[in-house]
Structure 1
Amino acid sequence: MQAVVLAAGKGTRLRPLTDDKPKVLVEVNGKPLIEDVFENLIACGASEFILVVGYKKEQIIDRYGDDYKGVPITYAHQREQLGLAHAILQAEPYVDDDFMLMLGDNVFRGNLADVVNRQTEERADAAFLVEEVPYEEASRYGVLDTNEYGEITEVVEKPDDPPSNLVMTGFYTFTSEIFHACHLVQPSDRGEYELPDAIDLLIQSGRTIDAIRLDGWRIDVGFPEDRDRAEERVSEAENAMTEQGEEVVVED
C-alpha cells in the first residue's frame, strides 16, 4: 500500500527548533521525526512514500533523495499551507489505490498494522487509529463520536466543547473517496481546509469508517516540551528492549 506523509508544515510552535529546518527534521533521540514515520510505515508494508513537502523542502529532498531504505519516494509540493485536506489533495495525482496517511510530526509505538489490516481485509472506506485523552486536552485534536459497532459517526475539529475524549492520532487509511471529499470542503473559520470536514462528508454519504484504538503510545510533537517527552519515551523503550535482549539465555 502507498503511504502519504504530510511534511510541509513550518512548525512555528516548535521554534527555536525549526528556525533553520523543517519540522520533520527535528530530531528525537538522535533521529529525525520523519525517519521514525518512515520506519513505522515500512513495518506496515509501505510500497512507496508520497511525501507532501513545503517549508524548507530542499533540506528534505537533499537528505532523502529518491528512496528511503529501498522504498521509493515521490515528492508533492504544497506551496501554501492551507490545512490537512488541502495537503492531501497535493498527493492525489500520485495515489493509485487505497493508501496510508501519516502526519509527519507524530512518534508512534503501537498497533498501526491493525488499521491497515482493517482496510485491506474488511474493505472499510477508511480506518483511523484513535486514542482517549484527558477531556481538557481533547480540544487540541479532531474529536470523534462512534456508534456501538466502533464506526465513526462524527468528527469535530478542535471543538471548544468536545463531544468525547476520543481523538484522531494522525494515522489513517483511506480509499480514493477521500479526495472527492477534500475537493468539496470549504475553508473553516481558521481559513483552512480541514480534514475532519472531509471525513464528515464521507460519513454523511454513508461510507463506513472504523476506529481502531491505539494499543501503545503516541506523542504529537507540537512544542519543544513534546520533543523532550518523546525523547524520554523512545529512550526508555530502547533501553527496555536492550535489557530484554541481555536477559535472554541461550542453552546448548
Structure 2
Amino acid sequence: MQAVVLAAGEGTRLRPLTEEKPKALVEVDDRPILSHCFDRLIELDADELLVVVGYKKERIIDFYGDAYEGVPITYTHQREPKGLAHALLCVEDHVDDDFMLLLGDNVFEANLGDVVRRQREHRTDAAFLVEEVPYEEASRYGVCDTNDYGEITDVVEKPDDPPSNLVMTGFYTFTPAIFHACHLVQPSDRGEYELSDAIDLLIQSGRTIDAIGLDGWRIDVGYPEDREEAEKRLQKGYEADNVADAASE
C-alpha cells in the first residue's frame, strides 16, 4: 500500500524552531517528526512514501533523498498553503489504489494497523483513527459523529461550537474516491480546502467510512509544549521496553 504524508506546513506556532526549517523537520526526541511518521508507515508495509512538501521543501528533500530505510520517496510540491484537501490533490496522479494518509506533524504510538485492516476487511471507502479529547480542545481538530455501527455520519473542521469531542487524529486510509471529493470542495470560512469537507461529501454521497478508536497515544505537534509532551511519552515508552526486556532475560 502506498502512503501519503502531508508535510508542507510552515509551523508558525512552533517558532523559533521553524524559522530555519519546515515543521516536519522539527526534532522530537532528537529525530525529525517526519522520521517518526515514516517509521510508523514502514511498520505498516508501505511500499512507497508520497510526501507533499511546501515551506522550505529543499530542506526535507536534501535530508531524506529518494528513499527512507529502503522505501522509495516521491515528492510533490504544494505551491500555496490552501488546506489539506488541496495538499492531497498534489499526489493524485501518483496514487494507484487504496492508500494510507498521515499528517506529517503527528507522533503516534497507537493502533494504526487496525485502521488498515478495517478498510481491507470491510471494503469501505475510508477508515480513520479517532479519539475523545476534552471539549475545550475539540475545536483544534476535525470533529466527527458516529452511528451505533462505528460509521462516521458527520465531520466538521475546527468548529467554534463542537458537536462532540470525538476528533480525527491524522491517520486515514482511503480509496481513490477521496480525490473526486477533494475536487468538489469549496473554500471554507478559513479560505482553505478542508479534508473534512471532502470526507463529508463522501458521507453525503452514501459512501461508508469507519471510525476506529485510538488505542495508545498520539501528539499533534502544533506548539512547543506538544513537542515536549511527545518527548516525555516516547521516553516513558523506552523505559517500559527496557524493563520488559530485563524481565524476560
Same-fold call, TM cutoff 0.5 = yes
**Equivalent residue runs for 1:1-252 within 5 Å:** 1-249=1-249
TM-score (norm 2): 0.99
Offset of residue 63 of structure 1: 1.0
Matched AA of 2:75: Y
Hey, what's the Cα distance between the residues in 2 that align with 1:124 and 1:44? 18
Hey, what's the Cα distance between the residues in 1 that align with 2:9 and 2:220? 14
Give 4+ residue runs of structure 1 displaced > 6 Å after superposition: none
Which stretch shows the higher mean deviation, 115-124 or 95-104? 115-124
Deviation sequence 1:125-148 (CA, Å, 0-9, x none): 100100000111111110001011
Matched AA of 1:140: R
Hey, what's the Cα distance between the residues in 1 that align with 2:120 and 2:46? 13
Matched AA of 2:226: D
Hey, what's the Cα distance between the residues in 2 that align with 1:240 and 1:111? 18
Give the SS at the match of 2:72: strand
Give the SS at the match of 1:153: strand
Can you give the 5+ residue segments of structure 2 that lack an aligned partner in the other structure? Answer: none
Hey, what's the Cα distance between the residues in 1 that align with 2:12 and 2:190? 16
Hey, what's the Cα distance between the residues in 1 that align with 2:86 and 2:180? 12
Deviation sequence 1:160-193 (CA, Å, 0-9, x none): 1111110000000000000000000000111100
Aligned-pair identity (%)? 73
CA RMSD of aligned residues (A): 0.6
Can you give the 5+ residue segments of structure 1 that lack an aligned partner in the other structure? Answer: none
Q: How many residues align?
A: 249
Matched AA of 1:99: F
TM-score (norm 1): 0.98
Offset of residue 121 of structure 1: 2.0
